[in-house]
C-alpha cells in the first residue's frame, strides 16, 4: 500500500507542477522531486552498499511529504483523484 501511495504521490507532484492553482515555489519543488523520483540518475549510485538505496527509501519519500504540505488541501484532493485515474488506466504491454 505504501509503495502504491508513493507512486500516486509522484504523479500528484507531476500534475501539481503544471497546475495553475499551485504556488510557484510548490511547483518548482514538485517538479524537481517528481523528476528526481522518475529519473534513472540517482544522487547516490545504487551500487554503493546501503547508501545507494538511501535516496530511494528516505530522501524521495521525505521530499514528497514536504512538497505535498506546500500544496493547498483542496487542490491536493483533486490532484490525487486525477492521479488515481491515471494509475488505474490500462497499460499497453505490447507498446
pLDDT value at position 27? Answer: 94
**Span 56-75, mean pLDDT?**
90
Residue 71 dihedral angles phi and psi, to the nearest 5°: -90, 135
Contact 20, 44 (CB under 8 A): no
Contact 23, 79 (CB under 8 A): no
Reply yes or no on whether the pLDDT at 28 is more than 80: yes
Residue 73: all three cell numbers together: 488541501
Reply yes or no on whether the pLDDT at 95 is more than 80: no
Contact 22, 72 (CB under 8 A): yes
Contacts of 33 (CB under 8 A, 6+ apart): 10, 13, 60, 63, 64, 67
**Domain spans, the chain:** 2-87
Reply yes or no on whether the pLDDT at 26 is more than 90: yes
High-pLDDT (> 90) share of the chain, %: 40
**Span 49-63, mean pLDDT?**
81
Contact 6, 61 (CB under 8 A): yes
Amino acid at each position: 500500500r505504501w509503495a502504491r501511495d508513493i507512486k500516486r504521490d509522484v504523479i500528484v507532484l507531476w500534475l501539481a507542477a503544471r497546475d495553475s492553482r499551485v504556488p510557484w515555489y510548490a511547483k518548482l519543488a514538485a517538479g524537481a522531486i517528481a523528476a528526481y523520483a522518475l529519473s534513472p540518475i540517482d544522487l547516490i549510485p545504487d551500487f554503493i552498499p546501503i547508501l545507494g538505496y538511501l535516496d530511494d527509501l528516505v530522501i524521495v519519500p521525505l521530499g514528497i511529504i514536504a512538497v505535498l504540505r506546500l500544496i493547498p488541501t483542496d487542490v491536493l484532493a483533486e490532484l490525487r483523484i486525477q492521479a488515481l485515474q491515471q494509475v488505474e488506466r490500462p497499460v499497453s504491454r505490447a507498446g
